[in-house]
Amino acid sequence: MTENRLAQTLAAGHFAITAEITPPLSASPTKVLAEAEPLKGLVDGINTTDSASARTAMSSFTAAAILSQNGFNPIVQMTCRDRNRIALQSDLLGFNVFGIHNVLVLTGDDPKAGDQPDTKPVFDLKSNDLISTIVGMRDKHQLPSGREIDGEIDMFIGAADMPIDPPADWKPTGLQGKIAVGAQFAQTQFCMDIEIAKRYFKVLADNGVTEKLKILLGVCPPASAKSARWIKENLFGAIIPDAMIERIEKAADQRAEGRKVCAEFIQQVAEIPGVAGVHIMAPMNVKSIPAVIEESGILKARK
């Protein structure tokens, strides 16, 4: 595999940091680069979302190619919602051409939740099927049909998960299934409750998951208490404690307090056994991500 900062950081056992940008409804690269530029040198990879919330935007592949050609390490999100297996495989063949070596495989949001609810979903493959397909293309140089692929498919394969406060009898069968088909790292939904995070990762560790899969916990610097409540109430599986929201609400500068809350939380997360890093998502607040990383001190701790 050619140089891949995310894979190298995780392989070295360092605490990794990734962030996420949402490609715009635009035919210009300007906004993609404007969001990514402040993250240069601070993150190990930048996710480009694949028509998030089932709303049309510049394709994740195109946005990732723009990033790669401008010195960033992209993580292209690939959903099963919009393309059949032929189209997905065709896109994968193009990733190496543009220096894209990370892919996060997702099912994708239901089109009924988007702004064009009459859209017909595809879902030709499930996420585990797509992971398995990528592994075969990379390791066997073959399509599932057996046709030989010319050239290398250097791909670091990611999956998604949703942290929960695990019941006594809960087993991480979803992640175990993703490991079985070849996932190498995972990024999770928001979880801003440190006690839930500790309990979740303990169960993962007890079941051998964290030994086989590098997991980056999803975190968020809320722009305001109102924003935090919206995330908690509208993004499925997002966990933000009421006490954290109240702390932000009482602050004179809620945006600055949201950054501080997130930076402090990252410091706590870094102490949890089995956590490989964090994935920072900041809806409508991307500009706060560099300050959160700096305030967390994680990069200084690496040196």
Give the integer Cα–Cα distance in Å for 101 and 204: 26
Hey, which CATH number is domain 5-220+273-283, 3.20.20.220, 3.30.70.2740, 3.10.20.30, 3.30.420.40? 3.20.20.220
Q: What is the pLDDT of residues 108-136, one digit of tens each?
A: 988 888 899 999 999 999 999 999 999 99
Band of the pLDDT at 2, cuts 50, 70, 90?
A: low
Stretch 161-187: mean pLDDT, rounded?
Answer: 97
**What average pLDDT does the chain have?**
95
| Beta bridge partner(s), residue 105 | 78
pLDDT of residue 113: 85
pLDDT of residue 302: 75
Question: At 253, which amino acid appears?
Answer: D
Instruction: Answer yes or no: pTM beyond 0.85.
Output: yes
Q: What is the pLDDT of residues 65-85, one digit of tens each?
A: 999 999 999 999 999 999 999
Give the integer Cα–Cα distance in Å for 303 and 300: 5
Number of H helices, E strands in the chain: 13, 8
Stretch 83-89: mean pLDDT, rounded?
Answer: 97
Q: Taking the mean position of all CA atoms in its chain, how far away is CA 154?
A: 19
Q: What is the pLDDT of residues 11-51, one digit of tens each?
A: 999 999 999 999 999 999 999 999 999 999 999 999 999 98
